[in-house]
């Protein structure tokens, strides 16, 4: 049976993250979202790790679950339609700032361990090098290659995956302070890197344009800074439910076990196109090149986005799909869809009420987005939602790409839809 | 300047005929290069045997670096007999070889000195007494007070020497046994001394006893910052007196700092009497002005410094990039890495607020040195000689450096923040003590000239120091810098980062 895993989140101990990112609410929100396996986030943080150790118990090998009494207390707040088991997998993110070949590099990395003991070994090493207590995503002056070496030495099953590999400021391929290849970044250990996280602003077809990435798996995660954002990107597996099962499916790039990734439309990501947020200038890569990389408003260099960076490093045209690549689906968070349907903000009370009504009726958010037939939604008196989700699933959307930290806007409905549906509902 | 090339003034120093020579080496002029080339040349071109050379450095790490550089200049040469040592280490080596004054002379660690005074004086008086003993020994006088004599007896009965005894003993040995001195003098036909400006009387006497005709010293009187335990001693004057007709060769090209930084530093030091002619020229481009910022409090100074550091890193976290908390690099600015950046201050007590602010920002840092005394002297003077980097292993990762201006001597950083530029902190002044403004100005000069690309000076209108709240005016040294070279930052008001409230992404 297939299941969804979101392997990169943060805890309340990370900078600019919600206070409610604690084990109980994560357990509950996974059910609302339809996530079976969740990364714990912040495994390098001593206090978070201690809280996890006291609230989680071992489940399948390398996976953990909330203590039964804590599970029961949370489950009581979850509608029957959404209830399902939830597993945790030990995960954290480490930010490295260092100089290599005369250039400043800033790279974020995901770290996974199969046990608390392995996580503790990594903490011990990193604690000698820098401060791991003040931020759940610690900043260390450590070379990425040396971090990989520390992770590898901690446990044969501890893994490192470059995080949101394309974002401009903090990524292995980032335009501002990254590298042009995994080999350049990880040197003699680069073959140990078997996957990259594509991030919100890129999707698999963009990554397929680099033949150098054919050998690595492309995974997608939410990088959630609040529980509501869990699962906004995720991975769909059909494999043994265990740490080894998951990573064997990823490492093996086996399309029968690692089925697909659930993606943002990459245009919605904050760093898809080029531009300057403060100048409200969005540029597509061709225009950036035409303007010599400078902002039309202020004349300073623009922040070069993910699409541009991919095109720069790509050695293939669009459309080719490497053998063994996992499939993907592009989704839009349900609250954003509901906001468009109700013509109110996605954070409004109206949206929230409808969101929870839908969850109670149809089950978790990802099931609603991906599976619930349009006809069922129409039967519930939600024809516009049916129409919007139908378009999303077919990729018939109108896009205004994100740039320089500004989220993109994906429109599912036009003015016509509202008048037509309004008339229909009168009939 | 790359590879083995020397500029004209460096070449003149390296090739100077053997004899008494002072190389006046301003900051960033390549004195280590000159020193190592001089040693290599003696061996390669002048037929000196490595064992005939005694090269004295200030710290152990400087000795290690110097040895490495000489090796690199003389590939394949056997250098086992070459002495590249600190003065202390050289003295100890000689005493050990001569089995003087004990068969196996050993040195008492700095930290253990106080233990010898147990039961002699109350613990709170121990520090002052140890200082007194040190000061006496550096004047080459044995301790005379009753507790001082007791200290020495205990030391001797344990067959131990303290650091200062090393020179006293070596000089006594040379005096008592002229044939021993002759043997060593015959051996070391070439004596070279680095960081000559910080040589103490005892060290100078030790080195000059050993030195024959070829005595080559490199230093900069403007960078003399260790008024050692308050013993006034001018090694350059002593050298000139002992070696009439010695040559003074200046190194003239600064390769370290952007011209603006060097010019600003020269304007500051120009107010001090010049003990050797100053002929320093910038060879790098002009660069960005020295940034000067005033703050309401020391706390704000620390916060804003760390915020500026985040900007220089090009944003250290997604939070600071996405919210605009870290300013984007401005006109002509580039971004830096953690190891490029140092925060320097006058007193170790100033470190704490910076440490806390860096912790809050989650930035890695390394603080060197833990304690400054109320009289503003560096406790660590001797540990410095034995080198702070040898004590604890350096972490493998990069970090922002925090250290006193004293400790920064001999180091360089792309970006230097010099904090606490207030009249009373830098120059440091104790209640009722006018302080030696010339000494403090040299320290300020040393701190400024550590910077390669960017120099930031800051002061606070309110500071909490040694249990007191102080309101001090900005340092007079700041106004020595002419306005074209500096840029004043408005004292920032407390406000939220610009733009919208960050969302939780």
Closest to B400 measured CA to CA, from A172, A98, A146: A98
- What is the reported pLDDT for B124? 83
For residues A401 and B464, what is the distance between their CA atoms, to the nearest angstrom?
A: 51
Closest to A401 measured CA to CA, from A301, A246, A285: A285
C-alpha of A184 from chain center: 25
pLDDT in tens, chain A (427 residues): 899 999 999 999 998 899 999 999 999 999 999 999 999 999 999 999 999 999 999 999 999 999 999 999 999 999 999 999 999 999 999 999 999 999 999 999 999 999 999 999 999 999 999 899 999 999 999 999 999 999 999 999 999 999 999 998 899 999 989 999 999 999 999 999 999 999 988 999 999 999 999 999 999 999 999 999 999 999 999 999 999 999 999 999 999 999 999 999 999 989 999 999 999 999 999 999 999 999 999 999 899 999 999 999 999 998 889 988 999 999 999 999 999 999 999 999 999 999 999 999 999 999 999 999 999 999 999 999 999 999 999 999 999 999 998 999 999 999 888 887 665 554 4
Picking from B244-253, B320-329, B340-349, B368-377, which range would have the lowest pLDDT averaged per residue? B368-377
Band of residue B456 on the pLDDT scale cut at 50, 70, 90: very high
DSSP three-state, residue B50: helix
Task: State the sign of the Cα–Cα–Cα–Cα dihedral A66, A72, A76, A79.
Answer: positive
Q: What does the buried/exposed string (b/e) look like for B106-133 if buried means 16 or more CB atoms within 10 Å of the residue's CB?
A: ebbebeebeebbeebbeeeebeebbbbb
Picking from B98-112, B166-180, B318-332, B411-425, which range would have the lowest pLDDT averaged per residue? B318-332
Query: B316, A18: Cβ pair inside 8 Å?
Result: no
Query: A99, B319: Cβ pair inside 8 Å?
Result: no
List the single residue in A105, A225, A405 with the smallest CB-CB distance to B504: A225
- What is the reported pLDDT for A418? 87
Residue B328, both tokens: 């984007």
For residues B63 and B177, what is the distance between their CA atoms, to the nearest angstrom?
A: 29
Mean pLDDT within B105-121? 84
- What is the reported pLDDT for B501? 46
Quick one: CATH architecture of B8-95+169-252? 3-Layer(aba) Sandwich (3.40)
Region of residue A395 (left: phi > 0; alpha: psi -120 to 50; beta: else): left
Q: Closest approach of chain A CAs to the CA of B297, in angstroms? A: 24
Closest to B222 measured CA to CA, from B475, B481, B439, B479: B439
Using CA atoms, how far residue B456 sits from B312, B453, B490, in Å, is 12, 10, 13
Pairing mode, strands B53-57 and A217-219? unpaired
Residue B461 has pLDDT above 90, yes or no: yes
For residues A363 and A366, what is the distance between their CA atoms, to the nearest angstrom?
A: 8
- What is the reported pLDDT for A78? 97
Instruction: Break chain B into its structural domains and give their ranges.
Output: 8-95+169-252, 111-157, 259-272+282-302+336-489
Q: Which residues contact B478 (CB under 8 A, 6 or more apart)?
A: B292, B421, B457, B459, B486
- What is the reported pLDDT for B370? 59
The ipTM value here is 0.86
Q: What does the buried/exposed string (b/e) look like for B276-314 if buried means 16 or more CB atoms within 10 Å of the residue's CB?
A: bebebebbbeebbbbbbbbbeebbbbbbbbbbbbbbbbb
List the single residue in A141, A225, A278 with the smallest CB-CB distance to B397: A141
Q: Is A294 on the interface with B (CB under 8 A)?
A: no
Please measure the distance between the N-terminal and C-terminal CA atoms of chain B and give it in whole angstroms.
48
* Residue B372, strand partner residues: B378
pLDDT tens digits, one per residue of B198-245? 898 999 999 999 999 999 999 999 999 876 445 578 999 999 999 999
Query: A97, B340: Cβ pair inside 8 Å?
Result: no
Sheet with B290-295: list strands edge to edge.
Answer: B365-367, B400-404, B341-345, B413-418, B451-460, B290-295, B486-489
B324 CB neighbours in chain A (<8 A) are 278
* Residue A282, strand partner residues: A275
Band of residue B270 on the pLDDT scale cut at 50, 70, 90: very high
Q: Closest approach of chain A CAs to the CA of B194, in angstroms? A: 30
Cis peptide bond upstream of A337, omega within 30: no
Which of A 378-407 lie inside 8 A of B, CB atoms?
405
For residues A201 and A264, what is the distance between their CA atoms, to the nearest angstrom?
A: 8
Query: pTM for the full model?
Result: 0.88
- What is the reported pLDDT for B327? 67
Mean pLDDT within B284-301? 95
- What is the reported pLDDT for B1? 43
- H helices within B188-331, ranges in order? 201-210, 235-242, 259-269, 298-312, 318-323
Query: A229, B504: Cβ pair inside 8 Å?
Result: yes
- What is the reported pLDDT for A41? 97
**Length of chain B as a residue count:** 505
Query: A99, B398: Cβ pair inside 8 Å?
Result: yes
Looking at the domain covering A3-267, what would its CATH class be? alpha beta
Query: A225, B337: Cβ pair inside 8 Å?
Result: no
Q: What does the buried/exposed string (b/e) look like for A280-307 if buried means 16 or more CB atoms within 10 Å of the residue's CB?
A: ebbbbbebbeeeeeebeeeeebbbbbbb
Residue B99 has pLDDT above 60, yes or no: yes
B319 CB neighbours in chain A (<8 A) are 15-16
- What is the reported pLDDT for B337? 95
- What is the reported pLDDT for A233? 97
- What is the reported pLDDT for A208? 97
B362 CB neighbours in chain A (<8 A) are 15, 131, 134-135, 137-139
C-alpha of B468 from chain center: 28
Domains B8-95+169-252 and B259-272+282-302+336-489 share a fold: yes
For residues B21 and A23, what is the distance between their CA atoms, to the nearest angstrom?
A: 72
B364 CB neighbours in chain A (<8 A) are 129-131, 139-141
* Residue B460, strand partner residues: B295
Q: What is the DSSP letter of B44?
A: H
A128 CB neighbours in chain B (<8 A) are 395-396
* Residue B469, strand partner residues: B464
Average pLDDT, chain B: 88
For residues A374 and B476, what is the distance between their CA atoms, to the nearest angstrom?
A: 77
Query: A278, B395: Cβ pair inside 8 Å?
Result: no
List the single residue in A106, A139, A146 with the smallest CB-CB distance to B364: A139
- What is the reported pLDDT for B391? 40
Instruction: Break chain A into its structural domains and give their ranges.
Output: 3-267
Mean pLDDT within B394-421? 92
Q: Which residues of B touch A (CB under 8 A)?
A: 313-319, 321-322, 324, 335-340, 359-360, 362-365, 395-399, 499, 502, 504-505
pLDDT tens digits, one per residue of B420-449? 999 999 999 876 555 588 889 999 999 999
Q: What is the CATH superfamily name and number for domain B259-272+282-302+336-489?
A: P-loop containing nucleotide triphosphate hydrolases (3.40.50.300)
**Best residue in B314, B396, B400 for a mutation probing chain A (most A CBs within 10 Å):** B396
Cα angle at B202 between B199 and B205, to 5 degrees?
Answer: 90
- H helices within B296-399, ranges in order? 298-312, 318-323, 351-361, 381-385, 388-391
C-alpha of A237 from chain center: 15
Q: Closest approach of chain B CAs to the CA of A316, in angstroms? A: 31
Percent of chain B, pLDDT > 90?
A: 66
């Amino acid at each position: 049976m297939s299941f969804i895993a979101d392997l990169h989140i943060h805890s309340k101990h990370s900078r600019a993250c919600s206070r409610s990112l604690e084990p109980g609410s994560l357990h509950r929100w996974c059910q609302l979202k339809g996530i079976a396996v969740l990364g714990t986030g912040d495994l390098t943080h001593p206090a978070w790790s201690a809280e996890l150790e006291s609230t989680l118990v071992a489940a399948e090998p390398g996976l953990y679950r909330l203590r039964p009494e804590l599970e029961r207390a949370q489950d009581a707040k979850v509608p029957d339609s959404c209830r399902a088991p939830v597993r945790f997998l030990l995960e954290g993110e480490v930010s490295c700032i260092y100089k290599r070949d005369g250039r400043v590099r800033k790279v974020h990395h995901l770290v996974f361990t199969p046990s608390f003991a392995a996580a503790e070994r990594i903490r011990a090493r990193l604690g000698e090098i820098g401060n791991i207590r003040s931020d759940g995503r610690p900043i260390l002056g450590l070379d990425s290659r040396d971090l990989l070496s520390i992770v590898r030495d901690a446990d044969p099953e501890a893994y490192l995956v470059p995080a949101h590999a394309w974002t401009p400021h903090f990524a292995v391929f980032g335009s501002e302070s990254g590298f042009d290849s995994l080999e350049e970044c990880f040197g003699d250990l680069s073959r140990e890197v078997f996957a990259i996280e594509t991030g919100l602003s890129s999707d698999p077809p963009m990554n397929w344009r680099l033949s150098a990435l054919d050998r690595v798996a492309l995974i997608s995660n939410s990088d959630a800074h609040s529980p509501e954002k869990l699962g906004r990107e995720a991975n769909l597996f059909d494999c043994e439910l265990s740490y080894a099962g998951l990573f064997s499916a990823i490492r093996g790039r086996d399309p029968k076990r690692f089925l697909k990734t659930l993606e943002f439309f990459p245009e919605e990501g904050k760093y898809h196109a080029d531009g300057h947020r403060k100048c409200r200038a969005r540029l597509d890569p061709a225009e950036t090149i035409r303007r010599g990389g400078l902002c039309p408003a202020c004349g300073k260099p623009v922040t070069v986005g993910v699409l541009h960076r991919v095109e720069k490093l790509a050695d293939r045209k669009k459309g080719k799909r490497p053998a063994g690549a996992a499939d993907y689906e592009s989704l839009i968070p349900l609250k954003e869809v509901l906001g468009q349907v109700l013509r109110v903000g996605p954070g409004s009370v109206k949206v929230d009420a409808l969101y929870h009504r839908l969850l109670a009726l149809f089950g978790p958010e990802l099931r609603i987005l991906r599976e619930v037939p349009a006809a069922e939604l129409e039967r519930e008196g939600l024809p516009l939602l049916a129409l919007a989700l139908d378009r999303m699933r077919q990729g018939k959307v109108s896009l205004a790409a994100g740039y320089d930290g500004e989220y993109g806007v994906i429109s599912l409905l036009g003015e016509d839809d509202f008048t037509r549906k309004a008339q229909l509902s009168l009939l | 300047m790359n590879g083995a090339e020397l500029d004209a003034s460096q070449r003149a120093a390296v090739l100077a005929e053997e004899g008494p020579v002072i190389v006046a080496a301003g900051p960033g002029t390549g004195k280590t290069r000159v020193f190592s080339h001089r040693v290599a040349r003696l061996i390669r071109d002048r037929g000196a045997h490595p064992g005939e050379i005694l090269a004295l450095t200030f710290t152990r790490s400087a000795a290690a670096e110097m040895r490495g550089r000489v090796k690199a200049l003389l590939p394949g040469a056997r250098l086992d007999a070459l002495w590249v040592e600190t003065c202390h280490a050289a003295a100890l080596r000689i005493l050990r070889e001569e089995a003087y004054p004990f068969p196996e002379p050993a040195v008492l660690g700095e930290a253990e000195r106080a233990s010898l005074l147990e039961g002699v004086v109350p613990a709170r008086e121990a520090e002052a007494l140890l200082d007194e003993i040190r000061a006496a020994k550096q004047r080459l006088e044995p301790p005379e007070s009753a507790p001082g004599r007791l200290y020495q007896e205990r030391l001797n009965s344990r067959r131990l020497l303290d650091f200062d005894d090393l020179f006293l003993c070596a000089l006594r040995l040379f005096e008592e046994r002229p044939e021993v001195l002759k043997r060593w003098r015959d051996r070391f036909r070439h004596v070279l001394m680095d960081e000559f400006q910080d040589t103490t009387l005892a060290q100078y006497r030790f080195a000059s006893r050993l030195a024959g005709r070829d005595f080559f010293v490199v230093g900069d009187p403007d960078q003399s910052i260790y008024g050692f335990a308050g013993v006034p001693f001018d090694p350059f004057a002593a050298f000139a007196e002992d070696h009439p007709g010695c040559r003074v060769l200046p190194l003239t090209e600064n390769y370290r700092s952007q011209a603006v930084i060097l010019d600003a530093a020269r304007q500051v030091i120009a107010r001090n009497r010049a003990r050797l002619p100053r002929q320093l020229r910038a060879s790098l481009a002009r660069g960005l002005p020295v940034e000067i910022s005033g703050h309401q409090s020391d706390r704000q100074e620390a916060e804003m410094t760390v915020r500026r550091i985040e900007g220089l890193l090009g944003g250290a976290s997604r939070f600071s990039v996405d919210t605009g908390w870290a300013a984007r690099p401005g006109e002509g600015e580039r971004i830096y890495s953690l190891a490029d950046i140092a925060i320097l201050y006058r007193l170790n007590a100033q470190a704490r607020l910076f440490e806390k602010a860096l912790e809050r920002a989650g930035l890695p840092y390394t603080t060197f040195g833990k304690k400054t005394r109320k009289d503003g002297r560096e406790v660590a003077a001797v540990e410095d000689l034995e080198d702070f980097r040898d004590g604890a292993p350096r972490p493998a990762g990069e970090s922002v450096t925090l250290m006193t201006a004293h400790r920064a001597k001999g180091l360089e950083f792309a970006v230097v923040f010099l904090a606490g530029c207030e009249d009373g902190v830098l120059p440091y002044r104790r209640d009722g003590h006018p302080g030696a403004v010339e000494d403090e100005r040299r320290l300020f000069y040393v701190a400024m000239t550590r910077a390669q690309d960017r120099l930031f000076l800051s002061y606070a209108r309110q500071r909490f120091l040694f249990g007191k709240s102080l309101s001090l005016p900005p340092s007079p040294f700041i106004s020595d810098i002419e306005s074209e070279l500096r840029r004043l930052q408005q004292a920032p008001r407390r406000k939220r980062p610009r733009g919208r409230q960050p969302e939780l992404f």
